[in-house]
Amino acid sequence: MTMSTSLPMVRSAIPAALLLILAGCAAGPDYHRPELPVAQHYIEASTQAQLQADRLVAPAELPEHWWALYRSPALDELVRAGLANNPTVTSAQAALRVAIENRLAQQGAYYPTVGAAYSATRQKVAAPLASPLASNFDLFNLNTAQVNISYTPDLFGLNRRQVESLQAQADNQRWNVEATYLTLSSNLVVAAITEAGLRAQIDATRQLIAIQADILQRYRQLRTLGQNSTLDVAQQEAQLAALEASLPPLDKQLALQRDQIKALSGVMPDAPSSAEFRLDDLTLPEPLPLTLPSTLVEHRPDVLAAEEQLRSASADIGVAAANRLPEVTLGVNSWGSSALSIAKLFGPGTAFWTLAGNVSQTLFDGGTLKHREAAARAAYDQAAAQYRSTVINAYQNVADALQAIKSDAQALAASQRAQGAAERTLAITRRQLDLGDVSALALMSAEQGVQQATLATVQARANRLADAAALCQALGGGWWNRPAGATPAPGRVTTD
């Protein structure tokens, strides 16, 4: 007796179990991160060791707000305002919301689709066709209310792979938002450093103009005393005029740089100017923080975005493969009630329903679905190559920044020594000129040496500050040290 009652239950459970087994399968490959080249150092081991020995860099974490390394409140305020106001940030955040909503929309296919409809009609039929059931009336009303339900079981994981692909695209866009933050903050920092460098060049040029004007005055005095020639005075006048002519282009560059900073900050050119930036207000820690090479692929937003593109391409293979398999649709095509008046709806004898199931399978399509799957696999190979290329470029970016920092340190030290020597030479030459021991040509040569050395020092300082920003950007910017729930800019959204 027990066996006879349980056997039908077992038989009825078999189809359901098969459906569950099929539902647990998804066509196409499951994603696995491909093997990547392993780097123990960003650059040659000896060079990186030398950088650490010289205390230019040291293994350490970048702060969330990496630009705070410059210890400039004005710079911190500028970057924060730019992240809050720049429209590229708003655009990237909106693109992320689009991707999230597309993923959520696709998830709706996991559930049945239910629709309801109501229709009311008034109809007149020919008198010979009038129904005796309606007392031979040829004019009557018809009210119909019905519900339609359809459901497509995800037997081969078509919808799951589509959701997986869209989730990867949403994650890709999330990393693009982080890349937008990083790029914008880097551009603002470099723009501020460029402004500071231009101001330093302008200040140095003005100081040199003052020195040249003083020397010209001395030349004129010596000419009055007959100790030099009119040619000496004319040459000094030409030297001063050339130096004065170099000032307006620098002023122009500074004005354009201020306009660029306003644009990056998301404000119009006629907005009040932000704080002025000067090289003396920007300092860097020694050594600079350098994260471990093994963590770079987890920190760089562009690398993480490229991996999500690869994940999406992997899921698209499953979508293409599932499209070649049968599709089953189940549902209640209609269930409802129809009556001559609303009051009689859902009354006795008014109900109707239709149950339906459908299985469809493409038998011949000229190879269309086959080649679409092959195209999806080729797209995956392309995404894998692009991912690998992005990783290699990321390491190259860090290596380039480290090489630049090494050269900057050497260039700054050399230019400072050259500037000190040039200034001492000019001071000695000026005293000797007063005593008549040197010619005007010697003094002009000393002046040019001071001018070139001063501008070289300014440029070396600016390069060092800018290349430090390039290193922070190449390392990923420190977003991973952001406290949970904190946002770098108002309105940030995530895929959570």
Q: Which residues contact 421 (CB under 8 A, 6 or more apart)?
A: 453
Domain boundaries, the chain: 22-111+155-326+368-481
User: Alpha-carbon distance 440 to 216, whole Å?
Assistant: 11
Residue ranges of the alpha helices (H) in 225-282? 230-245, 247-264
Question: What pTM did the predictor assign?
Answer: 0.84
pLDDT for 332 equals 66
| 3-state SS assignment for residue 119 | strand
Report pLDDT for 1: 35
Instruction: Tell me how far CA of residue 446 lies from CA of 94, 241, 487, in angstroms.
Output: 59, 17, 54
3-state secondary structure of 60: coil
Residue type, 111: Y
Q: Look up tokens 């300014």; give the residue.
A: 458
pLDDT at 278: 94
For the stretch 359-389, pLDDT in tens is 999 899 999 999 999 999 999 999 999 999 9
Q: Report the largest interatomic distance among the alpha carbons of the chain, rounded to a whole angstrom.
A: 138
pLDDT for residue 5: 41
Look-up of token digits 């959701």: 163
Torsion of CA 226, 232, 233, 238, to 10 degrees: 180
- What pLDDT does residue 214 have? 82
Looking at residue 436, its amino acid is: G
Which regions of the chain are under pLDDT 50?
1-23, 490-496
Please, what CATH class does the domain formed by 22-111+155-326+368-481 belong to?
mainly alpha
pLDDT digits (tens, 9 = 90+) for 62-109: 999 999 999 999 999 999 999 999 999 999 999 999 999 999 999 999
* pLDDT at 485 (0 to 100): 65
**What SS3 class is residue 475?**
helix
Question: Tell me: the pLDDT tens digits for 148-168?
Answer: 999 999 999 999 999 999 999
